Amino acid sequence: MRELTSAHEFKDMIQSNKTVIEFYADWCPDCKRIDPHLDAWAEQFSGQFAMARINCEAVPEIAEQFEVVGIPSFLAFDRAELVNRLYSRDAKSKQQVESFLQTCFDV
């Protein structure tokens, strides 16, 4: 899955169509639990939306802009508009994240 390393990359990524961004940190145990599934999800949902991830500590201004206070968090964008989010309290398991990804644009 694509790693976004700058605010410019983030802006470019969310501008086009539908995108889900995972906000994470290297030290986060819940992020590490979700990590092995990211590439499979990116492939599984590739016909519906793009996926990428951004390290909150490497690009903190993006996390601050979207008020990401817990990780992992998943934000769904439709042409740069935030349309849904999975808060970290609900992103602790593969099943929780997968359920969100299946319905994140059904709002």
Would you kindly state where each structural domain of the chain is located, as residue ranges? 2-103
How far, in Å, CA of 82 to CA of 6, rounded? 18
CATH architecture of 2-103: 3-Layer(aba) Sandwich (3.40)
- Cα separation values, 67 from 1, 55, 89, 90, 104, Å: 23, 14, 14, 16, 18
Condensed to tens digits (0 to 9), the pLDDT of residues 27-74 reads 999 999 999 999 999 999 999 999 999 999 999 999 999 999 999 999
The pTM assigned to this predicted structure is 0.94
